Structure 1
Amino acid sequence: MQLGNCWFDDAKGELINRASGDVWHLPRAEAQVLRLLLSQADRVVSKAELRQGDDEHGELSDSSVARAVFMIRSFLGPGSELLIETVKGQGYRLHLTPMTAPVPAKRRLPIRRLGPVPIWIPALLMLASLFAGGYFALRVGEMSPTAPLKVQSVVQADGQMVKLVLYAHSRSNNTLLLEKASELASVLGDCRHSRWREVFMSLSHDSRVLNLTLRGDYLGQAVVRNLKVSDGRSPRRFISPDWLREVDICD
């Protein structure tokens, strides 16, 4: 089955990029999601349908379905968001013929001929420009990013380096954030390989939500994942073996 520049071999469960020659053997979630979308092409497939399990596999989580769609799009390359359409509040729709984004028609405005420009207008424009420049500089100063609480480099088994960056609302009372960063650094260090090159961590004001942004590359394309982990227990754990398997920190 042709999908953009790629070919899907259903029997082998592989996506083949005919331009680059890259071959990707799809993991279970990605294979299940793609097969269901293909079987019901050009119609909306709900997330509930995409999550469903079978006799051999349990049901997928919503985050696993979203990640599977993201990874498939990443492999398919440019235009994949039109090939696999997100239908807000409903699910996803695969178009066998990719949609094209509408190009708005250009309107031709009537030509108006102006008389001489009064001498005070250039002076007013210059004054407005100076005021705007000063205001912009002030706003840039206000919006400068906060310096990280801590930056740590983790070396993995294959020699790849992952940078772990911690952000905090204050410079004190960050024991929980530092503790969770140490746990995640240990996990990343034990990975034989990982696509992630930068991991940004922070806690919500009430310390009930751990925010993670992961940046890296996969098959030559930049990938980004944003994760929020809630934990109302005491003490708060956030990171567990089940969670680590679900989000695939290690490849």
Structure 2
Amino acid sequence: MVLPPVDYQAEPIRLGGVNYFWLDGQLLDAEGRTVTLRAKPLRMLEVLLKERGRVLSKDRLSELVWPDAIATDESIARCIADIRKVLGDKKHQIVETFPKQGYRLNVSEPAGSTQALPRRMLWLWLAAACAATILSVNFWLDEPRWAAPETSLALPVAGQHESVAILPFAADAGQNRFLAAGLSDDLEIRLAEMSGIGIVSQAQTHAMAAVLDSPVELSQSLKARYLIAGSVREDGAEIAVSVQLIDGSDGTTVWADRFQGARNNFLAYRQTLPEALVEAMHITLDTRDRQRLSLGGTSDPAAFEDVMRARRELSAFTYDGSLSAERFLRRALEHDPDYARAYAELAAAYAIRLENGWIVLSSADAEKAFYFARKALELDPELWLAHYALGRLHSVVPTGDTAAALKHLRTAMSLQPANDDARIYYAIVTTMAGHPEDALPIFESVMATHPLPPFWYYIGLSNTLFHLGKYEEAEDAVLTCTQQMPNSPYCLRTLVAIYARLGRLDDADWMLAEYETLGYEVTLGALMASAIERDPSMRAFLEESYRMAGIE
């Protein structure tokens, strides 16, 4: 059967001096290739495009982009940051911010050579759209994402290490998706405690899995020797869980297992998973590793699920998220008063709250945070997260101790050598103490092994580069941070200081406007109260930078 021709009309637009097309709800570049954006940022771009030249308030954007909900300022800011990232809008000239008013998309007349989308490129776009639809459907199948190939290709993987990446576990409903996320989180936590295993963080893995569909390509990109895939689905009164271990060198499945039974019996199965995976990977563990592997953390399913819920809330990196996480963690301790990890997670949550000024009574919050961390160590003296939390707490509380912070962070590194969070925070504290020249090699060595380091790694790196006088490099690092976490007040404060030192006072004013829009006070006293530097000369240098930006 021959289908009638369809007339697709692409709208030519020009953003920041670059030609694009808008076609059927998608942004295409001048060659007809789709510019990748997540659903909400893409919808926001469409709204801004329809209302081009007009300033749209946050309330109006929330109404148009989230018609069935009320969007938070953080959600709107993240969408704006995503749009700016794909458009290369570092100076915020394409998507312009009007403090306390909203945002405006600036569109100019397209160059005459791109008035029509090439027919060949149109068909390529249509084919890509169809392929994307097929892939998105495949992702949510209730079995693990990749089936084992019939034959092994035995392809070499350049730069591959004996490390593990845990892929997003598939699920078919809301509660099951939460359980799938909790299971993958738990595997990451427990495997990362093994000194013989390097874990690629799920933040990196999820980002790469969204754009790469081949296990071999994903393994190469993440430098992971093994991939762990899984799925969770409900089957009447029971749940079914499938887990498989994939050899990243050729995409073959080297181990697979399945649980089907009552939800209350799942925790016992979960306890056996890490040991089975370690055995399948033929990784040699020392005595301490095997002791850690035998520890289940808790035997109470409700406590376990509450800790997993708390970790999800903390990942949002907002004050409301930290409050919600605290409620889940306190409830977990009601279920199991001896759950060491719940205490450690509480201490870490308080540390993040203190670092960002999300507090009401700083002295009371600090006392509670130290209590939680020490209680965790009392229950489990070798719990790395408790030492890590104490390191962060000693570095940020007014009565803290830099030497004690570094001591606990060194202990955390020794207990979990494959986890770089403690190492990066050690570098951050080293800079805070007045030794950025010693911190920079640590940042460089760690970040060289991370395809997609988390945003706070870039915060620490940018601060170190700033105090070394490497302002352009510091700007690049902090702009990468804002792409991941556009509502991070620390990133905006750092950019103000950097632009002041570069003599770009207009850019510093823009950052101050963004900072104020998020509800923060723009005074020298308030900015210095949020500074993490402990060294007097570094504090004086930072204060002078703010004064150069015109802040009093």
State the TM-score bracket (shorter-chain normalisation). Answer: 0.3 to 0.5
- Whose RCO is larger (CA < 8 A, sep 6+)? 1
Relative to its length, the structure with more helix (as a share) is: 2
Normalised by the length of structure 1, the TM-score is: 0.43
Normalised by the length of structure 2, the TM-score is: 0.22
